[in-house]
Chains A and B, each alone.
Chain A
Amino acid sequence: MLSPYRVLDCTNARGLLCGQMLADLGADVIAVEPPGGSPARRLGPFADDVVDPDRSLVWWSYARNKRSITLDLERPEGRDIFRRLAASAHFVIESDDPGVMPARDLGPAALDPSLVYVSITPWGQTGPKAHWADSDLILLAAGGPLVLTGDDDRPPVRLPVPQAYLHASADAAVGALIAHHERQRSGRGQHVDVSAQQSVAQATQSYILCAALGAPEVRRTAGGLKNGPLTLRLLFPASDGHVAITFLFGSAIGPFSRRLMEYLYEQGACDAATRDKNWLEYTQLLLSGAEPLEEFERVKRVVESFTRSRTKAELLAAAVARGLVMAPVATLDEVVASPQLAARDYWQPMAHSDIGRSVTYPGPFAKFSATPLRWRRRPPTVGEHNAEVYAELGLDVAELERRGVV
């Protein structure tokens, strides 16, 4: 879909996913790496645990379908070559701290105004924290999701796979495509300025608005949330792991909870009185005191003792058969073994000539009927396409290498 377009992807570890989304959609994305390779290549885990810039699984995860060149943007000659490359490009993506690219005279104002120029930064281009230090954990703390996650008797906790810059980079891809759409009519590019702090706020499920709306703060509890006096629980034990249940109430989700309790009753796990509670108005009954909070605690224990007696597979089968909102908490080996994903040919093998074997990758993020996404290129090694790309510019890569520019 984006095959006529070229993207110069100068991002460090912060911005890799943006270029990959455009590459997956068909664009010619050229990763412009400093000599020695992108700093993202220093991030583990590594293939076969061999620490090597060409074996970083972070790089592999987010550099598929890209080409790679090396270019020293600290040197004037490297910057000149970058400008020549930019003249052939439609998008530039970068994720340096604010001011770094302009100081190289490679900021949006210094390049062709028809470029869509995308900047991914922790806090945005300007503002009182624009130059604050950052990390995944720090952005999750500053943007709102962190306070909502974790056990209530321990510190808030993040996911072990960094998420903040994935949210930001995915937003950046959307922003780039909006600017591109507009450019088709105006002929003009613009600057897309992405703040990871704002992007991660998406993961607060709008609870970031509690104070502004005069609603009570929601508080964390493992596998659920505390809303006012209510402790809502969404994760339960199974005999072989855990299951997720959307055990919530109200006119929309309440009917699912009623079906769940009907199932428990049929299985001999609860009495008729428990089954027949008013699940549609259960929240209001709890808040008004008509239903004691201790009774809700008992109900959750009833659900828990039932799910604990069943396997994840049994519970999923019941959910599918009965239309329950209940799903297994999968470990990553179970995710890879999923029959559903296999039936949809999700996992994609890619030949890695660089390590002499095939590697299984997550597949297309969507199935397009007319333009299926293709995994065309494995993640490139450092500067793998120097000769190819510089030849396209009419440059002699051997000469550039001799001068240390690439």
Chain B
Amino acid sequence: MQALDDVKVLDFMWVMAGPTATRVLADYGAQVVRIESTRRIDTARTLAPYHGGVPGPESSGIFQNLNVGKRMLTLDPSRPEGREVVLDLVRWADVVTESFSPKAMRGFGLGYDALRAVKPDVIMLSSCLMGQTGPLASFAGYGNLAAAISGFSNLGGWPDRPPAGPFSAYTDYVSPRYITAAILAALEYRRRTGCGQHIDLSQAEASIHFLGPALLDYTVNGRVAGRVGNRDRDLAPHGVYPAAGTDRWVAIAVDGDAQWRALCDAMEQPALAGDTRFVTAADRHANADALDAAVAAWTAGRDMHDVEVLLQARGIAASAVQNSGELVVDPQLLHRGHFQQIPHPVHGTTTIETSRFHLSRTPAHITGPAPTYGQDTNAILTDVLGYDDDRITALVTAGVLE
């Protein structure tokens, strides 16, 4: 038995955040049927990384990574016959998810009220950038915009430079956890009460919680956070230091005076341990530039993995700054089974990430690759909805299954 094998999800979500959330449900056994229209290709199919670095609608590694274990029905929901198919799937589903801009589902005649009319206890979750209401409700876009408008982008980088931001569409990686948790909590409530509901999840509003302390520093203390490079409030040294090779780095975070002395010992620089500029954390913060220079002078030319092992042996937090080539052979990630090779109908095999957390008794299980275009359309219409050949032929003839 899988943990969620009694959960059925009709999934209109696309691009990154939404599919990331329903991927977790699929990992733990939920039946997830995605709707994709050839008239509106899933943007994720156009995003890198690609197999062999070559773009193509069945070549996107991120589309693969976010959609394994789901089935896909190719359908145009804007057509009346398409809407009827959707409503049949709504009757089948426990949960309906969508991440269009707020007017789209109502435009298809598939707003919450329409769904509830055919399935009174349906749980519908709508995820969009800014929420279903308010002056910016119709403002659609990608996670890099929500990251900007909710305060993340301005904070990453150096005080003397323009913002560097967190990587790309940051809130697309934050909000999926809130989406999945919201769905599971609503299912729990429905189990006890029989009541479904509509959940309006704004990617910006959910993600803002990841900036909590800095926001309270403003609402309570009036202080507006800015860019500080890699400086930390408490730890020093705390930074990313050059290692041997081109653009190779090692991160080091020193917690307390004893660890500082241990670092000096590891660096074989007893004079540094006695240097009055660096004795206490307050000293080290006050002289952080000189401190970073002293550490960088030692790391430069050393192998980043040698440094992390040397320092970790002394209990000092350190890690090579790993790229995908190092991550795919990282012994800890391998021990955790973080990567999995699965068969792929176009590429032979592909590699995906597995569940980020482990359940001891009902572990995640990858059932198969992400669907190719229209791969499951017939099977879903036949097995899930019980349509006969004549009805399916009529839908094909009407051009609804595109």
Contacts and interface: CB of A to CB of B under 8 A. Distances in A.
B43 A252 contact: yes
Interface stretch (B76-84, B129-137, B274-282, B372-380): B129-137
Given A181-B187, A209-B353, A223 B163 contact: yes
Nearest to B225: A332
Contact of B356 (A202, A234, A253): A202
Contacts of B346: none
Contacts of A347: 219
Interface in A156-191: 156-161, 163, 166-167, 170-175, 177-182, 184-186, 188, 190-191
Interface in A199-246: 199, 201-220, 222-223, 225, 227-228, 234-235, 237, 241-244, 246
B96 to A, nearest CB: 14
Nearest to B16: A205
Interface string B161-182: 1111111111011101110111
B164 A213 contact: no
Contact of A234 (B144, B196, B220): B144
B219 A157 contact: no
Contacts of A382: none
B181 to A, nearest CB: 5
Contacts of A188: 361
Interface string B214-253: 1111111101111111111111001111100001011101
B343 to A, nearest CB: 15
B265 to A, nearest CB: 15
The DSSP consensus for interface residues of chain A is mixed
A190 B361 contact: yes
A392 B250 CA distance: 51
Contact of A235 (B6, B165, B177): B165
A366 B327 contact: no
A193 B357 contact: yes
Interface string B14-50: 0010001000100010000000000001110111111
A178 B352 contact: no
Nearest to A122: B317
Contacts of A163: 166, 210
Contacts of A333: 218, 224
A327 B61 contact: no
Nearest to B15: A252
Given A181-B187, A193-B360, A217-B323, A252 B238 contact: no
Interface string B87-103: 00000000000000000
A99 interface: no
B338 A198 contact: yes
Interface residues of A, number: 157
A344 B134 contact: yes
B205 interface: yes
Contacts of B146: 327
Nearest to B251: A141
Contacts of A49: 221
Of B66, B132, B182, most buried by chain A (CB within 10 Å of CB) is: B182
A370 to B, nearest CB: 4
Contact of A368 (B131, B182, B327): B182
A241 to B, nearest CB: 8
Of B136, B197, B229, B357, most buried by chain A (CB within 10 Å of CB) is: B357
Interface in A277-293: 283-284
Contacts of B357: 171-172, 174-175, 192-195, 198-199
A213 B251 contact: no
Nearest to A243: B148
Interface in A85-123: 108, 123
A209 B28 CA distance: 22
Contacts of A78: none
Contacts of B49: 206-207, 209-210, 213, 215, 218
Nearest to A241: B154
B155 A159 contact: yes
B192 A4 contact: yes
A329 B163 contact: yes
B365 interface: no
Of B55, B200, B219, B229, most buried by chain A (CB within 10 Å of CB) is: B219
A205 B65 CA distance: 10
A267 B248 CA distance: 43
Given A179-B362, A197-B332, A234-B168, 10 more contacts: A26-B185, A57-B217, A156-B240, A195-B332, A202-B20, A206-B49, A252-B43, A330-B148, A333-B224, A369-B199
The 10 closest A-B pairs by CB, nearest first: A61-B212, A244-B148, A170-B177, A127-B335, A370-B197, A212-B351, A182-B3, A252-B43, A206-B62, A141-B251
28 contacts: A2-B188, A47-B221, A141-B321, A144-B324, A147-B321, A148-B167, A160-B156, A175-B357, A181-B3, A182-B1, A188-B361, A203-B170, A206-B353, A209-B62, A209-B353, A213-B52, A217-B324, A244-B147, A251-B46, A323-B140, A325-B140, A325-B141, A327-B141, A329-B154, A336-B218, A338-B149, A365-B182, A368-B198
